[in-house]
């Protein structure tokens, strides 16, 4: 049997030697964040009243039902109602590999149908429910969201997608459409790849995922930041699996300069922050698209 790589810590808890190796690192900022976002058995009065208000006040519930960025002056491009295909969830999980670790030759083009299917079944609207007689219906997305507040936004940065000009777009999940923010040579113009330049060379499209923090924090205060990151993780898995269902490799991209990427897609880096990128590459020479 392999040697035990753990050592005894306080209260007899065994600690991994990796943890011991970096035990001297300054984690005060993380500790403070965790303490500030921790809930106890009861909630303070201010937080409780906020949550009750979101559950009971029609005006707030209407805001919840409509929460999304809108680019009314931008050209709107309707996306097709593409499907994911017949790959089962089990098959998608077994086949999922990172774009960074998959060396298969790839020259199969990514098309608009691919983009449409990935967006629809990762964060698109798949259902609805009525909140009350006097307020609009609540649209339900493909991704779970605390309080159905949906604080995330997706900006597809198109580099090489058949049927769509290169440039920066925003996904309108309610309309299942793209808002064209600008057309340009995105492979040359997009910043932030200094730490991982190989992703830029491999990318057909980069989904830049941002978060409008106040959508969640208005209801849950500091705890809302945790919920935003929970949702980003769920969306990341959706992106992986939907891309794989279309026969496309993908990879979460985290090695970027936050300020540069936020500015590139039009986020201010404070009210709306970048939380992750997701890079989709071309399908393998033997892969097949699904209509």
Contact yes or no for 37/226 (Cβ under 8 A): yes
How many helices and strands, by DSSP H and E, does the chain display? 11, 15
Contact yes or no for 238/143 (Cβ under 8 A): yes
Q: Look at residue 1 in the predicted model and tell me its pLDDT.
A: 42
Residues 6+ apart with CB under 8 A from 9: 15
Q: How far is residue 256's CA from residue 258's CA, in Å, rounded to a whole number?
A: 6
To 5 degrees, how large is the angle CA 248–CA 78–CA 263? 70
Segments of the chain scoring below 50 in pLDDT: 1-4, 290-291
Q: Rounded to whole angstroms, what are the CA distances from 10 to 13, 15, 26, 66, 89?
A: 6, 9, 19, 50, 42
Written as six digits, the tokens of 264 are 């590139």
Q: Look at residue 8 in the predicted model and tell me its pLDDT.
A: 53
**pTM recorded for the entire structure:** 0.87
Phi/psi at 264 (5° precision): -65, -40
Contact yes or no for 147/220 (Cβ under 8 A): yes
Which residue, 181, 136, 129, is CA-closest to 154? Answer: 181
108-161 residue pLDDT tens: 789 999 999 999 999 999 988 876 676 667 788 999 999 889 999 999 999 999
């Amino acid at each position: 049997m392999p040697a035990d790589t753990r050592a005894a810590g306080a209260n007899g808890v065994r600690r991994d030697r990796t943890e011991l190796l970096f035990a001297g690192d300054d984690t005060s900022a993380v500790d403070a964040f965790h303490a500030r976002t921790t809930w106890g058995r009861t909630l303070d009065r201010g937080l409780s009243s906020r949550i009750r208000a979101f559950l009971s006040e029609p005006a707030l519930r209407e805001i919840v039902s409509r929460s999304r960025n809108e680019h009314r002056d931008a050209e709107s491009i309707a996306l097709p109602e593409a499907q994911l295909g017949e790959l089962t969830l089990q098959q998608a999980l077994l086949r999922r590999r990172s774009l960074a670790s998959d060396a298969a030759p790839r020259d199969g083009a990514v098309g608009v149908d691919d983009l449409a299917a990935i967006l629809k079944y990762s964060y698109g609207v798949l259902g609805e429910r009525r909140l009350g007689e006097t307020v609009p219906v609540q649209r339900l997305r493909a991704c779970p969201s605390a309080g159905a507040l949906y604080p995330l936004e997706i900006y597809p940065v198109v580099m090489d997608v058949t049927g769509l000009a290169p440039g920066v777009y925003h996904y309108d999940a309610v309309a299942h459409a793209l808002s064209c923010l600008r057309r340009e040579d995105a492979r040359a113009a997009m910043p932030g790849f200094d730490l991982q330049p190989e992703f830029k060379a491999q990318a057909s499209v980069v989904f830049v995922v941002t978060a409008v923090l106040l959508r969640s924090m208005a209801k849950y205060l500091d705890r809302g930041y945790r919920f935003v990151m929970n949702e980003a993780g769920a969306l990341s898995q959706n992106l992986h699996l939907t891309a794989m269902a279309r026969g496309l490799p993908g990879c979460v991209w985290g090695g970027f300069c936050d300020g540069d990427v936020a500015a590139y897609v039009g986020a201010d880096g404070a009210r709306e922050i970048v939380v992750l990128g997701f890079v989709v590459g071309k399908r393998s020479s033997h892969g097949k698209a699904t209509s």
